[in-house]
Structure 1
Amino acid sequence: MADNAERAAQEAEVRETVGTFFRLVGEGDADRVADVFAEEIDWFVPGDEKVLPWAGQRTRREQVPDYFRTLWPVFVHDESEVSVDKMLVDGPDLVAVGKSSHTVAANGRRLTTLMAFRFTVEAGRIVRFHLFEDTDLVVRTVTAPN
């Protein structure tokens, strides 16, 4: 019985931590988003960093704000929608699936893509963040002419 209670408590902590991440992203404060990450992290966002400068790996909490400060200006402020349709938790791991839709500031094109996130949470901090999306679509939409 204690194992079930411990597992339920762990999964609640994981859901709460990831929920805080999504809430802080929505509030647009890159520094506060970084606060939910551990000092050392396994972060991966796919893509060619020469084309998508926010893409790539990060290994330290202090690198998190730069990701958002690089990504957010690519899109028109207040014209983004992100929905998380499902969160699946297994111990310290959580997979969230959903959809995002943004207007690209440079060309006015709308980018809508399905997304999946893989999180791992330890001691109330995110230690793994991997994003999966249609990177080809992102590149084509972000780099398209006006």
Structure 2
Amino acid sequence: MRQETKDTRGTVRELLRRIAEGDHDGAADLFAEPVDWRLSWPEEGCPQVPWIRPRSSRAEVADHFRVLEAHHVPELNGTSVDRVLVDGADAVVLGEIAQTARGSGTAYRSPFALHLTVEDGLITRYHIYEDSLTVAGALATASP
């Protein structure tokens, strides 16, 4: 296994571990500044989903995970990772989001794909693709 692939896989595993543990600052520490950040939403975002907005710094990344958690019931999170594919500096994480909106109590599920790039041990790209219509629908009546 190439060293670059090994480093990418290790960084991705560590990111997933920190996210699962709710270590927002620790997760953000794994990101480069600036980071190429993209979520599968329209440029203008979605008012019911406040964590969807442009990000580029570690502080903004930590805020993303904090706001995401504030709008969900962490004890009911059933998000799972099915596969992590690594090719050099790039990784793709495939899985299913299973969350419950805090304000409405609405549970939802969505497949997701997360494209990451790791350079010098830091994440330089974070692009996530999910069913944004399902997420917005679950959050439409929710508030933290």
TM-score, length basis structure 1? 0.89
Identical-residue share of aligned pairs (%): 35
Aligned counterpart for 2:113 among listed residues 108, 111, 116: 116
Higher relative contact order (CA 8 A, sep 6+): 2
Q: Measure how far apart 1:46 and its partner are.
A: 2.9
In structure 1, list runs of 5 or more residues that go unmatched.
Answer: none
Aligned length: 139
* Bigger Rg, structure 1 or 2: 1
Write the distance in 2 (CA, Å) between the matches of 1:73 and 1:115.
20
Is 1:72 equivalent to 2:69 in the alignment?
yes
CA contact (8 A) 2:100 2:107 kept: yes
TM-score, length basis structure 2? 0.90
Aligned counterpart for 1:46 among listed residues 40, 50, 60: 40
In structure 2, list runs of 5 or more residues that go unmatched.
Answer: none
Q: Measure how far apart 1:81 and its partner are.
A: 1.4
Moved over 3 A (4+): none
CA contact (8 A) 2:50 2:67 kept: yes
Alpha-carbon RMSD: 1.4
Write the distance in 2 (CA, Å) between the matches of 1:77 and 1:127.
27
Correspondence 1:1-146 to 2 at 5 A: 8-47=2-41, 48-144=45-141
